[in-house]
Structure 1
Amino acid sequence: MFEQEGCIWCARWEREIGVAYPNTEQAARAPLTRFDLRDKLPDDISLVRRAHITPTFVLLSDGAEVGRIEGHPGGDFFWFLLDELIKKTTGTPAEN
């Protein structure tokens, strides 16, 4: 997750989803690592393009970008979009 200080959408994501995320099947399959938008990324991470808005969620497989969710689409849409990304790596969605 790319975030930045003062991002109201990051704060909203945290309130609506972030507090529950660690306890979900999605978190078991896609653990959340947080980066400041301006952080230098580790050498073993390969993105299609740099994140420019916050929050941006990038799903990685073996360090390479599989897909991303840009912005905060709201709770229902976030879980749906995340499950679609997870399906790209595993062939099956996470169970809620």
Structure 2
Amino acid sequence: MRFSARLVLAAGLLAMPALAPGAAARELLMFERKGCTYCLKFDRDVAPIYEKTEEGRRAPLKRVDLSRGAPGGVVLASPVRFAPTFVLVDEGREVGRITGYASDEAFWGLLGAMTDGMAGGRP
């Protein structure tokens, strides 16, 4: 299990667009699909505490039905094809992405890497 979490972490970091220095995210979009096993696993592992964390306060979670596409006013770097996909959005533009959910450890590591630049930015 440790190996797969590290693999997911490495793949996510490679696919992540570069963050602008001091970028402050406004929300974390979670593209999900009804019946998605990994979405349900995220709901058990992370969702109950997400809003109580510093990351959750800086980038509130907004759920999006994958079949409906991105919400109006959001510019994605590329189409979202898999559920779950987490897209970090700042002022309507994608600044980072996590495709898939393997474990809470991998999720928090990837999200931490994306939000590190938020520390000096807007709340």
With the shorter chain as reference, the TM-score category is: 0.7 to 0.9
* Identical-pair percentage: 38
Q: CA deviation at 1:91?
A: 5.0
Mapping of 1:83-94 within 5 angstroms? 83-88=112-117, 90=118
Q: CA deviation at 1:40?
A: 3.9
Query: What is the aligned residue count?
Result: 91
Q: CA deviation at 1:19?
A: 1.1
Structure 1 unaligned residues grouped into runs of 5+: none
Alignment deviations for residues 15-70 of structure 1 (CA, whole Å, 9 cap, x no partner): 01111111111100110010000114333100011111010000011110001000
| Structure with a larger share of its residues in helix | 2
Match of 2:67, SS state, is coil
- 1:24 partnered with 2:53: yes
Alignment deviations for residues 55-90 of structure 1 (CA, whole Å, 9 cap, x no partner): 0000011110001000003111110110111124x2
Q: Please give the TM-score of this superposition, normalised by the length of structure 2.
A: 0.69
Asked which structure has the greater RCO (Cα within 8 Å, sep 6+), the reply is 2
Structure 2 letter corresponding to 1:64: R
- 1:60 partnered with 2:93: no
For 2:43, the equivalent position in structure 1 comes to 14
Q: Please give the TM-score of this superposition, normalised by the length of structure 1.
A: 0.87
Structure 2 unaligned residues grouped into runs of 5+: 1-29
CA distance in 1, matches of 2:69, 2:80: 11
Q: Contact (CA 8 Å) 2:64, 2:71: kept in 1 or not?
A: no
Match of 1:23, SS state, is coil
Runs of 4+ in 1 over 6 A off after TM superposition: none
CA distance in 2, matches of 1:4, 1:31: 19
Match of 1:84, SS state, is helix
- 1:34 partnered with 2:39: no
